[in-house]
Structure 1
């Protein structure tokens, strides 16, 4: 399957999401921010809610001269969290958890963090209902499962860049009689991703595929890219694949 056809299928999958899920739904908001509704439960993923051009580009990355976000939010801030069971913060990098989210989100809303360090940081920002996803959490019929990944290569983590990259989790959403959704998060394709796909056999994959790179390590990304979309298709040709975290998308 050539890449043009592959990405046509990717775009189509997002369009067909509501019919594929029946009442379930994935709403792409901007960048890595999205809403997932499954079995009547709704979750907000990685809220970056700042206005267009709010933040300077990340140093030592391609196009670092560009401020981000590149586009405005397509919905109001209130609509991003309206009716959610909780907000899943896969990690606390600026492009996943920004000052505007910290300022505007209700302080009593449930925030789900990857580990205690992130939870402690979020609590220090005034949030009163922060829980760590150590393994699984249950929301009615919906099970939310933590998955692992690698936000860079072994070489990067052996350098001073490791402190900047840190850890990031993914999540799987399962519910009997509903599609299984795997949100991989900020990760390269590694053994943890393979393990999650083999174990859960997701019907829908949401992949962060901007191929972001640090200029000191030009030969490898810190998240997935086009080759990983092909890999996902080859492993799960019947799955719906949604590619996000690509500059403005």
Structure 2
């Protein structure tokens, strides 16, 4: 398998002979207003350009959208993606939105969703160390497990913090590769996704798994840098199990 970091949460994954585009955001640098944050409050998003031409990543076999926040799907992606491509989403609400964009084959992920030789499984996640009202405002998010007889199992955790749901997913599916959104992105001092301590807990739960950190340094509300996470992993003895790709970089997992 090959996992290619594109930008923020956008990934391009070659898995079991299929190409999956994850959470596509194709906008040019500084297209969208900043998220409400005490950090970089005046900087427009994305903070960085796409590292590859759109044409290089807009023809996958399938698209997976973990949720519809602006840093996970945008109008520019909707414009460039072919409307007949299968698109997998978490629920009927997101399905209806994608259909309004003109997509013709929008499928809802479940515990066992077949796509050719790959089994996709939706996992429950929690978007932040926040209260009930905040979670309702942020809306539902999901993760996805990829399984195939020809490949190692991947757990794409998505926009979540470490919690019991993540622990249960690791326990249930025993992934060899875990992709974590690890920028500790925060809004008004409330952490919305994993930070370094969360990543350490993931490693402690699955010490033999290869961790890949994504969702870093591309939106104004990021907190944790690649450099800081790398140093933390080294200090805590799991740097050999953590890869932190730069935008555009490919990771080959065998």
With the shorter chain as reference, the TM-score category is 0.7 to 0.9
Residue of structure 2 equivalent to 1:194: 167
Deviations 1:141-171, CA, capped at 9 Å, x for gaps? 211111011112451x23xx34541111000
Moved more, 51-60 or 190-199: 51-60
**Following TM superposition, where does structure 1 have runs of at least 4 consecutive aligned residues deviating by more than 4 angstroms?**
none
Residue of structure 1 equivalent to 2:47: 70
Does residue 1:134 correspond to 2:110, yes or no?
A: yes
The alpha-carbon distance between structure 1 residues 163 and 236, as it changes in their structure 2 partners (threshold 3 A), is closer
On the 8 A contact 2:122/2:144 being kept in 1, the answer is yes
Q: 1:106-185, aligned counterparts within 5 Å?
A: 106-153=82-129, 155=131, 157-158=132-133, 161-185=134-158
Q: How many residues were matched structurally?
A: 219
Residue of structure 2 equivalent to 1:30: 7
Task: Give TM-score, length-normalised by structure 2.
Answer: 0.82
Give, in whole Å, the separation in 2 of the partners of 1:50 and 1:163.
27
Which structure's relative contact order is higher, taking Cα pairs within 8 Å and 6+ residues apart? 2
Residue of structure 2 equivalent to 1:226: 196
On the 8 A contact 1:41/1:139 being kept in 2, the answer is no
Structure 1: segments with no counterpart, 5+ residues: 1-23
Does residue 1:40 correspond to 2:17, yes or no?
A: yes
Give, in whole Å, the separation in 1 of the partners of 2:102 and 2:38.
31
Q: Displacement of 1:61 after TM fit?
A: 5.0
Give, in whole Å, the separation in 1 of the partners of 2:128 and 2:38.
14
Q: Displacement of 1:130 after TM fit?
A: 0.8
Residue of structure 2 equivalent to 1:6: none
Does residue 1:79 correspond to 2:56, yes or no?
A: yes
Residue of structure 1 equivalent to 2:67: 91
**Structure number with higher strand proportion:** 2
